[in-house]
Structures are given as structure tokens and as C-alpha cells.
Structure 1
Amino acid sequence: MERKKKKNIRFEKEKEKELEVKNTELKYSKKVHDVVANGIYQVMTKIENQDNFNKEQALDELEYVYEKSRDISYENPDSQDEKFHEKISKLVASFKNDEVKTFTVGNQEETWENVTKSTQTEIYQIIRELFGKYEKA
């Protein structure tokens, strides 16, 4: 009996480790999609839609995506100093073109003061994903 109990405990621990590995893989897959793929898509959209395309700005944005991908591999937290409301305004404005007019309302700095960094990151990714889906439609 004792031996069977130990075997079951060991089996359960192995299952927990496997689940933890799968959850970690899913977390990184989501981060790569949200940060890297959507970042690249955002730059591509600017290049495609804006007549006054700024090459230096696009290169800066690609460098930022590169740094974020490196951060994911090192699991470093977001270290950007830019205020969140500014990031949101820039993101929304990046999808403006001749056919799509964008603007933000209620995006003051105070709006985001009590919102956690992780929630801000999720909101940013959701907005970027929604605009990306709109652009593809």
C-alpha cells in the first residue's frame, strides 16, 4: 500500500510539472503573438496607409519590437518610460489613413492611474488586435 501511494504521489507531481510547462509555453506564445506579431503588423499598417511615412520612426518602432522580443526571452518587465495614455493615443493614431479617421476620448493620464501595468498591457494588446482585425476586413 505504501509503495502504491508514493507512486501515485510521484505521478501527480509529474502531471503538475507537465501542466506548468504547458501553461508557460502558452504564456510565451501569447506574449510573442501580442507583442511581436502585432507590433510588426502595426508598423506594416503605417507603411501601407500613411502617405507621409517616416522611415526613421518605423525603424524606431521595429527596434522597439525587437527589444520587446528580447525582453520576452529574458522575461524582463516592460521598462518603457512613456506614459500609458500617450501610448494609447499613438497606437490609435497609427491606424489613421484616408479612409479611417481615428481619435481618442477619455484617454487622460488620470484615467489610467489606478489600472495595473498588466491590465494596461492587456488593454493595449486588445486595442491593437481590434484595429488589426478592422484593417484586415
Structure 2
Amino acid sequence: MANRNRKIYDVDEDVLKRVVAGDTAALEEMTDNGASLSPQRKDTKDGEKEMKPLYGAPPEQEAYRKRFLAERLKGTRRQTYIHDALYRAIAGVLPVIAPDLSVPAFVNNVLSDHLKQYEEIINGIYNEKATQKPIQWKK
């Protein structure tokens, strides 16, 4: 009985053997010949997209990994709370995408990036509020 979820790959076995043996030129030869390591699927009307190649990672993923998944917490820590659903979502994804990264370290990386990205806006709001004159209460 055939499995319907099974995907059919068009693979040149000789080139694959060379790649496994460490011949990087064979990998280039595969991509130059129009071969792909992705399953033979096309776009459908339902909006399903063709799968990405199985080797390497897209530049966006590499940038994300460097930005959020590489840094580790250092120094003194403080306890803080996040919503349980958010914690569970992060805790469910991290073991797969970054097994060595803890939830607090990931949250720290994301928050750090947010503060860097919006530094000018946050400073502007702070300066606007901090320079307001205090209210003079009538006596």
C-alpha cells in the first residue's frame, strides 16, 4: 500500500554519492544542471508554495539565527513574567530551532533587539513625558 504523503525526488545517484564523499563541486554541478534537492511539488490554487531546498538555509533564516538564537544571557538576572500562552509557544518552538537556548535567553534577545530598533522613539516618548512640568495644585 502506497503512502499518499510520500514525496518523489528526482536524484542523480552518482552525483549524490560524490556529495556524500565530500566533493563540493558535485553539489555545484547538481544545482547548475537545474537539479534541486527539493521535492517535486508545484504551487497549487490553495496557495501552497513549492518547498525550499533541503541544503543550506535561506538568508532570512540565517539572519534570524544570528540575531535571536545565538546570544546567551550573561551577568545578573532578574525575574519577570510573561503570559503563559506566550511562554508555552516559545517553549514549544525553541527545542527544535535552538536546543541550547532557554526561554529567558530568547526573550532577552528579542527584547534587546526591540530596544535597539526603537531606541529613538522610546527616547522621544520618555523625553516628552520627563520634561513636562509638574502639576501645580491649588492651595
**Relative contact order (C-alpha < 8 Å, sep 6+): which is higher?**
1
Q: State the structure with more CA Rg.
A: 2
Shorter-normalised TM range: under 0.3
Give TM-score, length-normalised by structure 1. Answer: 0.20
Give TM-score, length-normalised by structure 2. Answer: 0.20
